[in-house]
């Protein structure tokens, strides 16, 4: 054997940062030099494609390095490598080291700058055709690795066979693997600076194999035939802040199951057909899915993501998920997805310590670890990390036509001292507690989403009094469209959990929200977080003894919520008063709908959604401060409150009155803003909803009796524990 060069030694030792410089075909005086590294091969030939002429490659090391000089070839030519192993087995293949990079210097510049908005089309694995040869290009960011290889079922998971080239200071490694087909399982094998080998799933992977394994799966180019063109056109022209938005929050795996088949969850396609029918019957406008990006641990409900670009395998293929979104769009329903850029799990096959360094996360646990959740925090100061996360958001909108992203745990991103004691966090450069890098990331992400996909909503789950969450970034806000109103939710539940006897001392729980109502664009919400971890279901929270009484209280609360300004979100099961806490491992208790209490709650939510969607004083005017006005918020003794929602045209004013005590008033005088006949249009205590009030549809002529600071008033029947809506009857 020949004396090995340093290049050959580096190839054999797996430390060569750019194997393309030495392997493959290279010009030499009078011809071309061809080198190949085929471990365990005993013979190799270079086969010219034009005339099938074979040039023997001589072994220069018994571990599989071959080399030959091809004379009189002034230009490179197309060729394949033919290798032979002991026993006579032969295999002919295109040389992966014969191809130029598939990612440009400009793309790399944008990636390192943090401004590449289509990075998901470049990094990761992509089926391409180069020089007429189909295959898969791979690219991964690992700046501190000494060597990166693509390994998979196509090369026996052998990191020697497909070593990638370093794209210089960009930190990106790249390789085109010819003749590789969709469906191949793969990972990246990284040699870190300490000499340790790591196997990592693709951060930009579009699909993953099921546990207990975690390889990425090569996906074919997207050729799904969408049928939602009309929806997308409408969406791009829609100002959702001026439209009714009523969102059904869903955990797909526990919505419904198939007991005859091992209690498996519905798949994406089965779910699509049934969900469309349910949303239509309940008059929701949108569905919000708890995270469907790939995740390993069922108990995280999807909030510990390892595949930021991939729909989870649990319910079908990426195209099956596209079918779900497509069908919802074709029937007029928007699709919102929970997106989790706040943290990621420590699983060793994923992002953590990716190239042997703290690449995606902060190194210091005072900045880089969520102690409550046992997860890691992204380093938002790195441009490449911002590119990765914003690319994830845009890819969901691009590849899957998602209409909105509900950003999880925003409060944990905004504050460096979130859930930390003194000494457990590091102040920012000005000595404050604000996470400046995360703030800039959120602004950048919101702007990128809105610019690329007009009409797509961004919603913040933000539980503090941070100012300007829904203010435009140009006005120094965070740029979200909506913010979950966690304060209103907390106060309202606190009030309704108390027995009616004690509510008169806590009426400010229901009135306080009006003080800050117009500081943000609020989304009123009762989410999954309120029905887990021993908190009890929405029904059982209510401050009453018996189920029927609890149902009456819950209906009154929902009536109050739908009358209050703001978009609406309700978690599945809560809209029919499920008794048990939500359990992610089992189906909702759909059998309860046979009982009047539960069926009544479901009917009420449907009617509230329908009324909210068509009444001009409600869904179209959630954020006009001039459309809300108190009638009487001071009747603490009787636990009765009333307000009006004003139609800007002045024609269809709505009056909402809530009686949150156990006393029924046969004659209750209520001030109203106009003369005429006032008709009851919603009564949460009506018999049709399982209540005991049969006075539904009462009409009252306004009398010239000043009341509640109004010039006229009506004398109504006000049932116990009910919310009523009255509308001026149209001539």
**Active centre residues (catalytic):** 408, 461
d(CA 613, CA 600): 20
**Which pair of tokens denotes residue 536?**
């009890």
Q: What is the DSSP string of 27-44?
A: EETTEEEEEEE-TT-SEE
Residues with Cβ within 8 Å of 567's Cβ and at least 6 positions away in sequence, in order, are: 244, 245, 246, 247, 482, 521, 522, 523, 524, 619, 622
Q: What is the DSSP string of 591-615?
A: GGGGSHHHHHHHHHHHHHHHHHHH-
DSSP letter at 573 equals T
Q: What is the DSSP string of 531-568?
A: GSTTS--HHHHSS-SSHHHHHHHHHHHHHHHHHSSSEE
Scan for tokens 């992400």, then name that residue: 445
Element (H, E) at 713: strand 712-718
Peptide bond preceding 662 in cis form (omega within 30 of 0): no
Helix, strand, or coil (residue 314):
helix
**Which pair of tokens denotes residue 568?**
């609406």
Q: Determine the length of the chain.
A: 731
d(CA 636, CA 96): 78
Residues with Cβ within 8 Å of 648's Cβ and at least 6 positions away in sequence, in order, are: 616, 621, 624, 626, 627
Looking at the DSSP bridge assignments, the partners of residue 188 are 150, 200
d(CA 592, CA 574): 12
Helix, strand, or coil (residue 348):
coil
Q: Nearest to residue 333, comparing CAs of 402, 270, 422, 423? A: 402
Scan for tokens 């079918």, then name that residue: 323
d(CA 115, CA 117): 6
Report the C-alpha dihedral over residues 663, 579, 280, 263, rounded to 10 degrees.
Answer: -170
Question: Are 362 and 368 within 8 A, CB to CB?
Answer: yes
Element (H, E) at 659: strand 654-659
110-119 burial, b for 16+ CB within 10 Å, e for fewer?
bbbebebbeb
Residue ranges in 132-189 assigned as alpha helix (H): none
Q: What is the DSSP string of 183-246?
A: T-EEEEEEE-TTS-EEEE--TT-S-BPPTT---EE--PPP------HHHHHHHHH--GGGS--E
395-399 long-range contacts (CB < 8 A, ≥24 apart) are: 395/120, 395/309, 396/309, 396/337, 396/339, 397/449, 397/452, 397/453, 397/456, 398/120, 398/452, 398/453, 399/120, 399/206, 399/222, 399/309, 399/318, 399/322
Residues with Cβ within 8 Å of 581's Cβ and at least 6 positions away in sequence, in order, are: 531, 532, 534, 535, 536, 537
Looking at the DSSP bridge assignments, the partners of residue 140 are 173
d(CA 701, CA 715): 8
């Amino acid at each position: 054997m020949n004396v090995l060069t340093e290049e050959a030694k580096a190839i054999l030792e797996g430390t060569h940062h750019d194997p393309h410089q030495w392997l493959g075909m290279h010009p030499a005086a009078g011809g071309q030099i061809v080198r190949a590294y085929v471990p365990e091969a005993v013979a190799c030939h270079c086969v010219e494609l034009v005339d099938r002429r074979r040039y023997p490659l001589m072994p220069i090391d018994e571990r599989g390095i071959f080399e030959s000089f091809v004379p009189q070839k002034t230009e490179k030519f197309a060729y394949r490598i033919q290798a032979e192993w002991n026993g006579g087995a032969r295999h002919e293949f295109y040389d992966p080291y014969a191809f130029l990079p598939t990612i440009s210097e400009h793309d790399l510049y944008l990636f390192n700058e943090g401004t590449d908005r289509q990075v998901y089309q470049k990094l990761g694995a992509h089926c391409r055709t180069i020089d007429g040869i189909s295959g898969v290009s791979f690219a991964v960011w690992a700046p501190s690795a000494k060597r990166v290889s693509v390994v998979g079922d196509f090369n026996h998971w052998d990191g020697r066979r497909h070593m990638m080239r370093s794209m210089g200071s960009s930190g990106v490694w790249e390789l085109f693997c010819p003749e590789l087909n969709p469906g191949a399982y793969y990972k990246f094998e990284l040699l870190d600076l300490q000499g340790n080998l790591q196997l990592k799933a693709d951060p930009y992977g579009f699909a993953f194999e099921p546990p207990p394994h975690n390889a990425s799966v090569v996906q074919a180019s997207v050729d799904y035939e969408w049928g939602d063109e009309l929806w997308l056109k409408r969406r791009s022209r829609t100002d959702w802040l001026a439209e009714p938005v009523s969102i059904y929050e869903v955990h797909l795996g526990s919505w419904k199951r198939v007991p005859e088949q091992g209690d498996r969850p519905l798949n994406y396609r089965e779910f699509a057909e049934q969900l469309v029918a349910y949303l239509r019957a309940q008059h929701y406008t949108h569905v919000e899915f708890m995270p469907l990006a790939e995740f390993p641990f069922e108990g995280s409900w999807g909030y510990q993501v390892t595949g930021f670009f991939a729909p989870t395998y649990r319910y079908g293929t990426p195209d099956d998920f596209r079918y779900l979104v497509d069908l919802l769009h074709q029937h007029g329903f928007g699709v919102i997805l929970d997106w989790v850029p706040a943290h990621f799990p420590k699983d060793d096959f994923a992002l953590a310590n990716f190239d042997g360094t703290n690449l995606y996360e902060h190194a210091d646990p005072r900045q880089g670890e969520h102690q409550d959740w046992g997860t890691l925090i992204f380093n938002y100061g790195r441009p490449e990390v911002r590119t990765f996360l914003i690319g994830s958001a845009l890819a969901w909108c691009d590849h899957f036509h998602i209409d909105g992203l509900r950003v999880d745990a925003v409060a944990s991103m905004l504050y460096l001292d979130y859930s930390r004691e003194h000494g457990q966090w590091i102040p920012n450069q000005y000595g404050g507690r604000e996470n400046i890098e995360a703030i800039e990331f959120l602004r950048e992400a919101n702007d990128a989403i809105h610019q690329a996909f007009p009409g797509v909503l961004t919603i913040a789950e933000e539980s503090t009094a941070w100012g300007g969450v829904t203010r435009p970034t140009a006005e120094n806000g965070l740029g979200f469209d909506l913010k979950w109103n966690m304060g209103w939710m907390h106060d309202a539940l606190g009030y309704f959990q108390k027995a009616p006897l004690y509510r008169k001392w806590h009426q400010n729980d229901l009135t306080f929200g009006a003080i800050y109502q117009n500081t943000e664009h609020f989304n009123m919400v009762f989410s999954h977080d309120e029905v887990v971890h021993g908190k009890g279901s929405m029904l059982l929270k209510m401050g009453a003894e018996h189920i029927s009484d609890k149902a009456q209280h819950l209906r009154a609360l929902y009536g109050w919520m739908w009358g209050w300004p703001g978009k609406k979100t309700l978690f599945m099961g809560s809209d029919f008063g499920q008794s048990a806490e939500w359990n992610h491992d089992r189906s909702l208790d759909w059998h309860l709908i046979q009982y009047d209490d539960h069926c009544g709650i479901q009917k009420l939510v449907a009617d509230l959604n329908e009324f909210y969607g068509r009444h001009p004083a409600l869904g179209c005017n959630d954020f006009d401060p001039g459309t809300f006005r108190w009638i009487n918020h001071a009747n603490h003794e009787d636990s009765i409150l009333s307000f009006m929602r004003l139609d800007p045209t002045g024609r269809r004013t709505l009056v909402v009155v809530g009686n949150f005590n156990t006393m029924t008033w046969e004659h209750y005088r209520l001030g109203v803003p106009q003369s005429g006949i006032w008709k009851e249009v919603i009564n949460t205590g009506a018999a049709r909803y399982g209540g005991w009030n049969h006075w539904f549809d009462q009409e009252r002529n306004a009398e010239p009796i000043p009341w509640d600071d109004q010039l006229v008033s009506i004398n109504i029947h006000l049932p116990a524990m009910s919310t009523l809506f009255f509308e001026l009857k149209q001539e």
